[in-house]
Amino acid sequence: MNSLIRKILKTFFSIIITFFLFVIIVSISLYIYIGKGLEFKINKSNSAVASLSEQYNIDFDTSSTINLIADTDRVDVYLLLKNLTIDKNNDSFIDANNVSIRTSFSYTNIMLLGSNFFNTEKILYSSIGSINIHLNEPVLNIKNFNSSDNNSPSQSDQFFPLSIKVDNGVLFDGDIEIGNFSMTLDMNQFEDKSDIQSYSIDLESHKDFPAYYIGKFFEEVTSLQDENESVYFDINIKDKEASSSKNTQVLNGILRVRDTKMDLERFPVELKPESIRNLSLDLNIIDNIGQVNLLGSVTNPKVRLKLQKEPNLQIAGSIDFQEISEPYLNLIVNGTDIFFAKEENGNLNGITDLRVSISGKNVLDLVGELNIKKSHGFLVPLTNSTFETQHIIKKEDDE
């Protein structure tokens, strides 16, 4: 989760921080005149400001301002960017009604920053105080964000504390509105890289959120959608000690899916996958432990669909999300009158009741029993049996 947040926000951090620091450095020469306060608009026609805006594809309203207030031992700085927009790959990446940035500098650090910048054209990060950024009603579109950069910041004393707060944001992925989100994020900033210390993210789904968006994260799901479906989720992910070597992430939330249809690419055994219709799912998670209940109807191609509305498949049990990207499953599958057919020859088919226990994460242990009611096409009619097998859902090359 740390790497995901770092990937999504890296571009925004570098743009805002670079621009903000530039404005502060330019303002150093004015600090002795600040007195009780000084406010002026940011001149977008200034060549340096225009160059930064063009370099980072950033734009903002001409009414954006910077305020400086001198105290006995420091200068408080408040930067307000109105109607901020940031583009990436010629598409909108971030839009926000306003972004406020606050910090303060001691007079000594102002002189150090100015001297170092004008002599070396580099920022002396250790002289920067804590910076607080607040985004009000931002729209974040992650469609064109490159998620391949996993570089970690090089640890040194050249960093500054950075806190970000997001209120009433909207998260998009291309044309799909995922939902509303809020976020708090504390980190140490190393140039354009971030060392996350703690975070909390709340995300609630949009009313028309499509189920197939969830399905695309599972390679064995070929389709997850239906015109009558509904999806709702409300999740919170937080980590008070994100920089710790221990896994301290905590997940809470709910997920409800109603009346969708799922098609699988394959089953753990060599059977032809049949559609699961009228699928409904309830998942409730409290402090990383989820309780799940799934109901659905496994399609029987020999029976008319309108006669198959009663659920004949149920999956229930618990999921441990202590490692969010690799949850541990402990589930029981119950099926009644389940149609099955061999992949290579659909004439080999039948009807069975089944009970299967599923446990594990990257490699699942499957233990179950079959109560064969009918079998067709087999040289020897199938009989009741038990089985034990394993199913790999994550290959080592994927890690």
Is 86:15 a contact under the CB 8 Å cutoff? yes
Kind and range of the H or E element at 13? helix 2-27
For residue range 228-255, what is the model confidence (pLDDT) as tens digits? 999 999 999 999 998 888 889 999 999 9
Q: What is the dihedral of CA 40, 42, 43, 47, to 10 degrees?
A: 130
Q: What is the pLDDT of residues 56-78, one digit of tens each?
A: 788 888 888 888 777 767 778 88
pLDDT above 70 as % of the chain: 81
For 102-147, the pLDDT digits (tens) are 888 777 777 776 677 677 766 677 777 788 999 999 999 888 765 5
Token pair 């306060």 is at which residue? 37
Strand partners, 162: 131, 187
User: pLDDT over 90 for what percent of the chain?
Assistant: 44
Confidence at residue 123, expressed as pLDDT on a 0 to 100 scale: 67
Q: 239 exposed, middle or buried (CB, 10 Å; 0-12, 13-18, 19+)?
A: buried
State yes or no: pLDDT of 2 exceeds 70: no
Q: What is the pLDDT of residue 399?
A: 46
Q: Is the CB of residue 71 less than 8 Å from the CB of residue 95?
A: no
Q: Is 140 exposed, middle or buried (0-12, 13-18, 19+ CB in 10 A)?
A: buried
Least confident stretch, 199-208, 258-267, 310-319 = 258-267
Secondary element (H or E) of residue 320: strand 313-320
In order of 42, 78, 87, 191, 333, the CA distances from 21 in angstroms are: 13, 12, 20, 11, 58
What amino acid occupies position 284?
N
Burial of 244 (0-12, 13-18, 19+ CB in 10 A): exposed
Domain spans of the chain, in order of start: 1-209, 222-399
The DSSP 8-state label assigned to residue 151 in this structure reads: P
Q: How far apart are the first and last CA of the chain?
A: 15
**3-state SS string over 261-299?**
EEEECCCCCCECCCCEEEEEEEEEEECCEEEEEEEEEEC
pLDDT tens-digit series, residues 327-364: 999 999 999 999 999 988 989 999 999 999 999 998 99
